[in-house]
Structure 1
Amino acid sequence: MRVDGSVRLIALVWQAVYVVVHLWWAIGGAPLFLNGRESYFPGGWVPVALGVLATVGCLAAAATARREVGDTRRHVLAGITALAGVALCVYSFLFPITLVALLFEGARSGIVASLLATGGGAVAGVLCLRVAVDERRLAVRPCELCGRVHGKSPESRAERAPGWAFAGAYVAVAGFAARISVWLADTIAGRWQSEVSRANVSWSAMVVFMVLISLAGTVLPLALAHRWGRLWPAWVGPLRGRAVPRWLVLGPGLFVGAGLTAYFGIAGNTAWIRGDFGGPFLPLFLEMAGYTLWGIGLLVACASYAALTRPPCRQLIREQAR
């Protein structure tokens, strides 16, 4: 299987520039960022270290692009570049927030500096992840038409989801239960009603909101793992046995999972550790841990759902028809 060598070269150059810029800032001082910081995480040498790891991974990938390399080494290289890519994306989590600030507050110097820094890190992370995907493909040699590894990957929606997908789904449900337990305690104590009244939010809007998050914490994760989330169950009548539209389930799963993981799992927990906010430990722990597990569980289940709902392989269908 061939991969696009230009992507690896672009990734390598981008990582090198990212390292040089942040090395310059670490030695000579960083510019004025929005809210005084580039990331929720410590700056200085941290982005330099992440950039160096990404550069080493992309350099190794570029050097071995057209060489015969063992599958184990390809998997190791894919793991290194994936780790660097995820770390860079997490470090650059403020990019969408900075982009929104630019749209509403204008191109002030601090916002522009933050946008370039976080945007550069986000692009560097995505490029690393693309290199990691290519390395994995070289290692497993999937079907050119459908991307599956026939004999190892699921071939249809009717197959059972793997155990780790069910684990992710039920971890998400448990996370939702932990979060909702705090809301129930506040409701019984009358605190939640008072907060809604002070916030001047209509009760009808709150009811709709609670119904939606309840569905996102129960039906959504279970649909990602169970067969009825991929093929309509018998009780829907004429739709029975037909394919559930892929993005009807996968889209909300990715959106809610990524949002909860990024906002609460990364930003929220980092701010809590830094002491930016506080409160009674147990309710706060249940909220933050609940949201985090809910988001991560959804993303895990989404990975299985995405694999199970890929379109059938045309080549395999032709071979079976012969």
Structure 2
Amino acid sequence: MTINRHLRIVAAVWQIAYTLVHMSFTTNGGPRFLNGRESYFPGGWVPVVLGALAAVGCLSAAVTARSELSDANRYVLAGFNAVAGAALCGYSFLFPVVVVSLLFEGARPGSLASLLVTGSGIIGGILCLIIAAGERRLAAQPCAACGRAHGRSPESRLEPAPTWAFTGAYLAVAGFLARMSVWLSDTIVGRWPSAASRASGMSWTAMAVFMVLMGLAGTLLPLALAHRWGRVWPAWSGPLRGRAVPRWLVLGPGLFTGASLTAYFGIAGMTAWIRGDLGGPFPRLALEMGGYTLWGAGLLVAAASYFALTRPPCPRLDTQSTGQPVARDAPGVEPCRYRRGEPR
């Protein structure tokens, strides 16, 4: 579905508010943040500029929502919003770190301010990305009922994932195994848990839960994003057999984990390593930073395929047991002009 004008207006208002709040932080001083910083990147006018760019993109999308723009202009607008959204998410990438800190360490001074400010940046970035996706779909002249480009987009979750989705999923598993090899080595030689962790009264229950979740996010999650059993409950699931797996049960953790790892380790960690801020043997850092980055990027690649495969079915199409869509007349909906495999 295309993005309506109301969402574009809400997104523009959000970006303007984000910009004004950070302008106030810059001129009058900001709140106390967790660990003393809002972002790994420089603050000051940087978030103000990013918010202003996002506001321009969202306002432009809102103003032109009912205009007849050329496909080229729609693609430009989509690209502008995509860059602004990615920049806002990248600047606010400490949000998942704050969430994890609250869950496993409890509230600390600056936690609430960090949660609200970084969370608002993430929301603003996601709104920009949603608008970018909507503008791209308009430029592609999709089906008005479902937003697909029939013949070029998957019609059903029963269809196999593309090769690149499997590649991303198994690269994510490889990255997870590379990272865990360092943890296993530290455990064997007694470097984990560290003396600082033991002295701080680390909760072993919380640590056990964290390790289980980490293991699932590095093995089961990427495979579920690529394999059919992640979209349709398999035979061994009993009464759920053949039913659709709830979309966001898999897609939500995939996007959250993939974006968090890519931003924190792929952007911040790699930058710190290149600048010499991280010490340690090269093989260890390569396995840690490279493993986390590969894990996160692989999850995002596989999640992109999962997102397309699990779209709600087009109301203008019936899907037969073969998985091939057949055009039909739905009440109150014009017949779809396209059939799968036919030129548009």
Q: TM-score, normalised by structure 1?
A: 0.77
Structure 2 partner of 1:77: 77
Instruction: Give CA-to-partner distance per residue, 1:42-65, whole Å, 9 cap, x none.
Output: 012322331232233223323322
Measured in 1, the distance between the counterparts of 2:300 and 2:171 equals 11
Instruction: Give CA-to-partner distance per residue, 1:131-183, whole Å, 9 cap, x none.
Output: 22331232223334433222111012232212321221122122112212223
- Change in CA separation of 1:285 and 1:232 when aligned onto 2, cut-off 3 Å: same
Counterpart code for 2:29: A
Measured in 1, the distance between the counterparts of 2:38 and 2:240 equals 51
Deviation at 1:316, TM superposition (A): 0.3
1:104 matches 2:103: no
Structure 2 partner of 1:306: 307
Measured in 2, the distance between the counterparts of 1:65 and 1:123 equals 21
1:63 matches 2:63: yes
Structure 1 partner of 2:255: 254
Structure 2 partner of 1:40: 40
Counterpart code for 1:128: C
Measured in 1, the distance between the counterparts of 2:207 and 2:117 equals 38
Counterpart code for 1:313: C
Structure 1 partner of 2:138: 138
- Change in CA separation of 1:8 and 1:312 when aligned onto 2, cut-off 3 Å: closer
Structure 2 partner of 1:11: 11
Is this contact kept in 2: 1:71–1:140, CA < 8 A?
yes
Deviation at 1:300, TM superposition (A): 1.6
Of stretches 75-84 and 272-281 in structure 1, the one that deviates more from structure 2 is 272-281
Structure 1 partner of 2:150: 150
Q: Secondary structure at the match of 2:261?
A: helix
Counterpart code for 1:230: R
Structure 2 partner of 1:291: 292
5+ residue gaps, structure 2, are: 320-325, 330-344
Counterpart code for 2:257: V
Q: Secondary structure at the match of 2:182?
A: helix
Q: Secondary structure at the match of 1:180?
A: helix
Is this contact kept in 1: 2:254–2:299, CA < 8 A?
yes
Counterpart code for 1:33: R
Please tell me the root mean square deviation across aligned C-alpha atoms, in Å.
Answer: 4.0
Counterpart code for 2:178: A
Task: State the aligned residue count.
Answer: 315
- Change in CA separation of 1:275 and 1:317 when aligned onto 2, cut-off 3 Å: same
Measured in 1, the distance between the counterparts of 2:41 and 2:16 equals 21
Deviation at 1:30, TM superposition (A): 3.2
Structure 1 partner of 2:183: 183
Q: TM-score, normalised by structure 2?
A: 0.73
Is this contact kept in 2: 1:40–1:271, CA < 8 A?
no
Name the % identity: 61
Deviation at 1:77, TM superposition (A): 0.9
Structure number with higher helix proportion: 1
Measured in 2, the distance between the counterparts of 1:215 and 1:9 equals 39
Q: Secondary structure at the match of 2:316?
A: helix
Counterpart code for 1:78: A
Measured in 1, the distance between the counterparts of 2:3 and 2:205 equals 53
- Change in CA separation of 1:179 and 1:320 when aligned onto 2, cut-off 3 Å: same
Is this contact kept in 1: 2:102–2:111, CA < 8 A?
no
Measured in 2, the distance between the counterparts of 1:133 and 1:49 equals 22
Is this contact kept in 2: 1:232–1:239, CA < 8 A?
no
Deviation at 1:204, TM superposition (A): 9.6
- Change in CA separation of 1:105 and 1:191 when aligned onto 2, cut-off 3 Å: closer
Is this contact kept in 2: 1:40–1:270, CA < 8 A?
no
Measured in 2, the distance between the counterparts of 1:310 and 1:116 equals 31
